[in-house]
Structure 1
Amino acid sequence: MTAIDVSAIDQDRPTISLAEPSDYLALLKPRVMSLVVLTAVTGFLAAPGHVHPVLAVVSLFAIALGAGGSGALNMWYDADIDRVMKRTAQRPVPAGRVSPGSALAFGLSLSIFSVLLLGLAANWFAASFLAFTIAFYAVFYTMGLKRRTVQNIVIGGAAGAFPPMVAWSAVTGNVSLESFVLFLIIFLWTPPHFWALAMFKMKDYGAAGIPMLPNVAGERSTRRHIFAYSLFLAPVGVLPFVLGFAGPVYGAISLLLGANFVRLAYRVLGMPDNDAAMIPAKKLFGFSIVYLFAIFALLLADIVLARGFGLHGF
């Protein structure tokens, strides 16, 4: 009787995927996508002009898909470093629930489809801008500079700040000072937000070999950078009111939010060296999330009320 080579049979047997729909949803980075949707909707409604409601929804859906596609490409490429970081080890690719090839195919498919969809629903300038945004995040930042420069978060922040400009261009076919202000708010917010996180996740980033500012320049330099960016962010957050596309209530609340951001950043600046508790950094990180969502939610409410009730802001 001929012996059966069980190992050969096992090798030929198709691999059963462990992925569930929730794993593919996780590849889209839904928390990041929710921010992209909020900022894109704000940019879309702030832009002058009128778009058919169906085309508006399709355009915003395309921008959200583009963000999700770039997130999937980021998770595909960063699976090796995600695997050694506690914060990211359970993501679908490093945890083995989604294969790298599936994540890559998923990310590329969504990215290409989103660009084509936006071009057909809105215009090809906006579609090109979306394609540039995806490439900037997935290639220039993730594959090119994230692991090579201490300014990685500053560069990555630019990619995350483009969605309101893309949405604006979907309405107008171009960009403007107002859309750049929306970009600037997110761009200036990103470094203090992530550097605060990096201060109490230094071991994780060190193990992954990512040159985050606290690991390379030290905590003292990071604290100074956080405070400096907060000083720029606070007045920029009020610019929509100053430039006239938001009302006085937005202006007052954004001023208070910015002042609190600076206050918390000042507490981080005054932290003692090697502070194991990192309480000020954790508080700033938590508030920074509230700050950005509040700024864009207020601005969105201002725009909706102004258009719906004929008010000049609220």
Structure 2
Amino acid sequence: MIDIHPELPEVLFKYTSEAGLLSILRNKSLRFSRPTRFNDLYDAKLQLSAGYDREAVISGALEKLYASISGEDQTPLVGSMGALIESMRPKFSEDSDKEQLFAELRLGLEESLDNLPDLLKKYEPEFEAHFQLSKILCLSSDGYSPPMWGNYADNLKGAAVGFTPTVEADSLFLTAKPIRYLDKRPALLDEEPLIEQLSARSKNDPDEISERIVFTKAMAWQYEAEWRIVAGHGWKPESETEQVQFHIGDLRYIVLGTRFDLEKVAEVKELMATFPNARLMYLSDDYSFIEA
């Protein structure tokens, strides 16, 4: 079952050049690419560091560990730390010295944090290689954006193709997720996930790490209003790009830029005939859409 994002837009747009539009219509497919082909140097690259307040992390982990040992919190625990906490529960009583317990646990937490930089450095090449091989389709929820028309639709000589995801068609676009825009590159671990791990409540979740890497960009790119579809390493892992077919009923709008070659319009209309729900539109000078 597809996990549909609650804020999935009614229409997702793919900005493209004239040649890109004709390719989409002829092949009924969209190009997924590796991040190495994107125009953002840091795309899908995580800052392999931990950005956190050390004392805040230790204090937070201690409180959660104490709640687990005392039985106040029955959250299932994982890993070797979880097994240790489980073994301590039978020995706990209301007379147990909380401060003494904190002092003993603190030693282990401090050691874990001391070892963290070397651990991150060790796994950096693995993380880098894995996510730089991802195949991604970039879309936008905004079809009326002047910068997007200028940057991604060949300076208004291209088009924006609008897709409406449909559940009945098991649409590819139902898997789209939005980009989070941040003031700085995200660290692999910040305070909350680090506290959760140190208190044995979670391990490194590949899906959560993927969210941080693939679905996060700098605030400077916010104008893109980007949504992404990620296909792992794709069906052809050795290729930098690959074409993925979409359901013909999902294509709803073809919006031609104000500088689109009018001699190509007839060909566009002919190719559109195979898409039952497609409507041809023109971009106006005020970046609204006009029915053809």
TM-score (norm 1): 0.20
Higher relative contact order (CA 8 A, sep 6+): 2
Structure that is richer in strand per residue: 2
Rg larger for: 2
Structure that is richer in helix per residue: 1
TM-score (norm 2): 0.21
